[in-house]
Amino acid sequence: MNWGHRLVRRGKLEEQLDKEMRFHLAEHAAELIARGADPAEAHRQAQIALGGAEQIKEECRDARGTRWLEDLWQDFRYAARILRQRPGFTMAGAITLALGIGASTAIFSAINPILFEPLPYPHPGRIVMIWDTFQGARSNVTFHTYRELAARSHDFESMAVMYAWQPTMSGAARPERFDGQRVSAAYFRTLGVVPALGRDFTKADDRFHGPHVTILSDALWRRRFNGDSGMVGREITLDGDLYTVIGVMPRGFENVLAPSAELWSPLQYDAGNATSFDTEEWGHHLRLAARLRPGATIGHAIRELKTIAMTRMPDFPRPPWAAMRYGLIVDSLKEQITRGVKPVLFAVTGAVILLLLIASVNVTNLLLARGAQRAGEFSMRAALGAARTRLIRQLLTESVLLAILGGALGLVVAQLGVEALVALSPAGLPRVNAIAVDRIVFAFALGVTTLAGILVGLAPALQASRGDLVDGIGQGSRRMSGGRQFTRRILVVSEVALAIVLLVGAGLLFRSLARVFAVDPGFDAAHLLTMQVQYNGHRYDADAARRRFLVEALENVRHVPGVAAAAFTSILPLSGETNWPYGANFEDGRGYDVTRYVATPGYCQMMGIALRRGRLLDEHDSATAPPVVLISESLARRQFAGQDPIGKRVHVGPLDRPFYSVVGVVNDVKQGSLADSRTDAVYLTPEQSWYADDAMSLVVRAHGDAAALAPAVKNAIWSLDKDQPVVRTATMAALLAASESERRFAMIVFESFALAALILAATGIYGVLSGNVNERVREIGVRAALGASRRNILALVVRQGMSLTALGIVIGLVAAAASSGALVSLLFGISRLDVVTYAGVIGLLALVSALACWAPAWRAARVDPAVTLRAE
């Protein structure tokens, strides 16, 4: 019989034990009677010979070896009864813990797949990203650089390059644009994943003018093709061409390098002709991933790549911009996907740890208060022979049981929290799909719960079990409460201090966000509707067709009722589009990286981008007119520093074309984000651009509600071409908000945690003070009898509470100042020691704790000396 079994059969064993004892007594008595004893006397003799039946049974139970479990069970049942008796106390404790456990579990579930879990590929540690270096920063590689590295390196078993591709699928239904990737043949091999259906790309697929083939994601295959197993070999129309589906990726495939990609096609770049440098094969627009050979170390690979970069080979010519003069940068794939979000995640993790601590401290305080009320009970149990360890165990069982209740509620909180986190998550957060309350997260919650249960129970258990027997049982237990009060005060001070740290974090983020949104984006963002239009199919192969479409589409859109003005731009501010920098090279040889806006005439007027000098672009700046350009103020300042830039000449893009003349200077526009300081830009008309972009953003200024215009504007475009995909429809206000989603995410998390912390700290102060007032009723009564006014007594209690708060504030401020460094990268426009924030936090906490002091103080002031003194 194992002990689990024994425990279950405990009742039966007890019964048998009893029966065995009775048999023994009966036999003994029967024998005595047979020898002639009186029956009653015989039974008495037998009892004496056997000894104390209960004691024997107890020893037999010990012999069973399941004693500890039985005790534990008993402790739990007793603890459950205690908790049930005080539903208010239990709920308060459980909810507080649920808050802490739930929040930390939710945050853990978000950071676990990003920071701790290995990436979902075989040997993920061997996958690296390789970057070219430009001005010390990572830069994309060119196709020929990739070719050279792949041919010359020995430390990698495969290498692959990729770029984002957004083909439009047309057919019977409304055309749909997908996120996809153009990849070199070894892409999936580098990740270590093979298609679930069909086959992977081969070298034969990935050659110049190779076959049109594509591999679908599982999600796309199910959504658009109903998971048809005969899909492999079928053809679909992408961008007006027929593509053969050759494979479908497995359901669990997570593409961390492009999470939204749903289909893939081979790169099909031209590997020959490396000496003509004016080709897209020499453009820096590819990301390079590689898988280390088994046994190769990343350190060795870095040295090998450095050697390759530094030694040129005649077989591999290099133009000046891809000469690898500054070496290459190698990141592990893990670093690559976490680099951008680490600051936010660390800040949020710190915040949740603070919240969990505050919740635990609060519950500890509750338990201490409870311990004071139960002092009599513990003294009684000790007097009846309960060992100190037994009492501690009992109390810990109670706190752990409370924590388990809290943990169960906490899982609900965590589930809600995870949903909120995913909904709020900034666009750059990797592996969002992997965020869920799974087994590991559950284990984490269980661990936190147990830890919290023991932590919150330890101090109260030690405190309670230390009680003096006589003092505890007698009524004069007031005197022994000094130690407990001291502990509780320390806890309240630490609660206030922790809350301060959270509040300062929340305040700094709040002020940063306010500062960011106070930044002038450089245009008037109100009443703007935006959407992106992509040219679909071969009818737009010619640049002229694209330009004609722009003119006709604008004509249609301008006739939509409610539209005040409309224009197209190649790149939209704050849209999150990738902004490839273009070279702007002035006549004097100085060059700059600039944002290239190809915008239809009237764009600047409609956006409200102010003209500083010269003139704006108009219809007369056509293909046949002399090429002209607008430059941004910052560029004008940097290049011309006080001189008049009008009439100066500049190359934008290729150097073998005529110069553009600067005809105007416009104010700076924030392109990447409001916090972005790079605003060097040029503006061209589509007719005068050296190529027509694949996608253009339509911007519409509405007379009234911009969002309401969306359906009519889309129809105006579709009336021109029903196969034209229109994507990313959003008001400029929404784009503006989304551009700061990361900072906002951190701020919302901090604010909600700080609010919770503030409430917990306030209840902590309230709890301690009201407990204190209860214990001092007699003293207060005496004071009142001796002539203390209500005001005096009120002040006495409030002063006591506020001195705790003040101490907590001082400690908290020091801690906040020390830890605010962790937030620096999320701050904008303010110092991490921002005086306004700190002052505001102090004021807020002082106010809240004054409110928390008021109720107990009021109660104290109303103590009737006659009543309390008579009660003695």
Partner 1 sequence: MSAKSDLPQGTLDLLILKIAALGPVHGYAIAQRLQQVSRDVVQVPQGSLYPALHRLENRGLLAADWKETETGREAKFYRLTRKGRAQLESEAASWQRLTEAVGLILRLSEGGAR
Does residue number 28 form part of the binding site for partner 1 (CB under 8 A)?
Answer: yes
The DSSP secondary structure of 818-838, one letter per residue, reads HHGGGGGGG--SS-TT-HHHH
Residue 16 or 578: which CB sits closer to partner 1? 16
Does residue number 14 form part of the binding site for partner 1 (CB under 8 A)?
Answer: no
Cβ at position 24, least distance to partner 1 in Å: 5
Residue 787: Cβ within 10 Å count: 8
Residue 64 or 293: which CB sits closer to partner 1? 64
Distance of alpha carbon 227 from alpha carbon 386, whole angstroms:
68
The DSSP secondary structure of 150-166, one letter per residue, reads HHH-SSEEEEEEEEEE-
Distance of alpha carbon 117 from alpha carbon 223, whole angstroms:
29
Contact 683, 599 (CB under 8 A): yes
Residue 51 or 299: which CB sits closer to partner 1? 51
Cβ at position 21, least distance to partner 1 in Å: 7
Q: Which two tokens stand for residue 84?
A: 């049930």
Please report where in the chains the tokens 């002063």 appear, as a residue: 799
Does residue number 26 form part of the binding site for partner 1 (CB under 8 A)?
Answer: yes
9, 12, 19, 77: residue in contact with partner 1 (rule CB under 8 A): 19
Does residue number 50 form part of the binding site for partner 1 (CB under 8 A)?
Answer: yes
Does residue number 618 form part of the binding site for partner 1 (CB under 8 A)?
Answer: no
24, 222, 381, 637: residue in contact with partner 1 (rule CB under 8 A): 24
Distance of alpha carbon 59 from alpha carbon 119, whole angstroms:
56
Residues contacting partner 1: total by CB under 8 A: 22
Binding pattern for the stretch 564-583 against partner 1, x by CB under 8 A and - elsewhere? --------------------
Distance of alpha carbon 162 from alpha carbon 206, whole angstroms:
12
Binders of partner 1 in range 715-744 (CB under 8 A):
none
> First vs last Cα of the chain: how many Å apart?
60
Contact 339, 137 (CB under 8 A): no
Cβ at position 432, least distance to partner 1 in Å: 55
Distance of alpha carbon 3 from alpha carbon 7, whole angstroms:
6
Cβ at position 75, least distance to partner 1 in Å: 23
Residue 52 or 447: which CB sits closer to partner 1? 52
**Which is nearest to 121 in space by CA: 296, 334, 440?**
334
Distance of alpha carbon 139 from alpha carbon 127, whole angstroms:
18
8, 49, 551, 564: residue in contact with partner 1 (rule CB under 8 A): 49
Q: Which stretch binds partner 1 (CB under 8 A): 13-21, 308-316, 611-619, 843-851?
A: 13-21
Cβ at position 23, least distance to partner 1 in Å: 5
27, 278, 335, 520: residue in contact with partner 1 (rule CB under 8 A): 27
Q: Which two tokens stand for residue 865?
A: 């000396």
9, 15, 23, 618: residue in contact with partner 1 (rule CB under 8 A): 23
Q: Which stretch binds partner 1 (CB under 8 A): 47-55, 148-156, 531-539, 598-606?
A: 47-55
Distance of alpha carbon 432 from alpha carbon 426, whole angstroms:
10
Distance of alpha carbon 782 from alpha carbon 865, whole angstroms:
6
**Which is nearest to 177 in space by CA: 187, 185, 167?**
167
Cβ at position 64, least distance to partner 1 in Å: 6
Residue 66 or 397: which CB sits closer to partner 1? 66
Binding pattern for the stretch 54-93 against partner 1, x by CB under 8 A and - elsewhere? -xx--xx-xxxx----------------------------
Does residue number 447 form part of the binding site for partner 1 (CB under 8 A)?
Answer: no
Cβ at position 2, least distance to partner 1 in Å: 11
9, 15, 38, 52: residue in contact with partner 1 (rule CB under 8 A): 52
Residue 30 or 194: which CB sits closer to partner 1? 30
Does residue number 21 form part of the binding site for partner 1 (CB under 8 A)?
Answer: yes
CA distances in angstroms from 728 to 159, 714, 735, listed in the order given: 33, 12, 10
- With 0-12 / 13-18 / 19 or more C-beta atoms within 10 angstroms meaning exposed / middle / buried, residue 116 is exposed
CA distances in angstroms from 822 to 226, 241, 537, 827, listed in the order given: 48, 51, 50, 10
Residue ranges that bind partner 1, judged by CB under 8 A: 16, 19-21, 23-24, 26-28, 30, 49-52, 55-56, 59-60, 62-65
